[in-house]
Every structure is written in structure tokens, then in C-alpha cells.
Amino acid sequence: MIKRFIDFVDSIKNMNELRRPFYIILVLVVLSDFFVHREHAAFFWDHIPGWSALYGFISCIVIILVSKFIGHEWLLKEEDYYD
């Protein structure tokens, strides 16, 4: 069952059909943050609607960039490194 799901999502045709619902869900999640009660927020940025989504998005971008930098600059070896 999981293989069929992965094959379905992996198809370019199906991915183009799924892109719009994914964007709609993303917008709904960010908009729902405007209706959350924030009386007991610990920090000032916890009162900003959409902050968690923005912070999570930026964090993911930073993790990807740092991982790629470490992978290419430190872990990647020349083709004949072990010869």
C-alpha cells in the first residue's frame, strides 16, 4: 500500500494535481494561526500570527543549506580518494 502511494506521489502528472491542494492546506494552516488564543505566550514573538510557520520554514531552509555545505565541503571526497 505504501509503495502505491509513493508511486502515485512520485509521478509528475500526479504531483502537478496535488500541488494546489498542498498550497491550500498550507494557507489554511497559516490562517488558522490567527484564531489561536495567545494569552499565556512566553515570548513576545509568540503573539505574532504566523510566526511558527515562518520560523519553521526558515529553519528548514537553514538546515538544508548547512547540510549541503557540510556534505560538499567536508564529507565529499575525491573520486580516487581511497586509491
Q: Which three cell numbers stand for residue 72?
A: 560538499
Domain ranges of the chain: 2-75
Per-residue pLDDT 10s for the chain (83 aa) are 888 888 887 888 888 888 899 899 988 988 888 888 888 888 888 888 888 888 998 999 999 999 999 998 888 888 887 86
Entry field: residues in the chain = 83
Q: What single letter denotes the amino acid at residue 77?
A: K
CA distance 79 to 59: 32
Tell me the pTM.
0.61
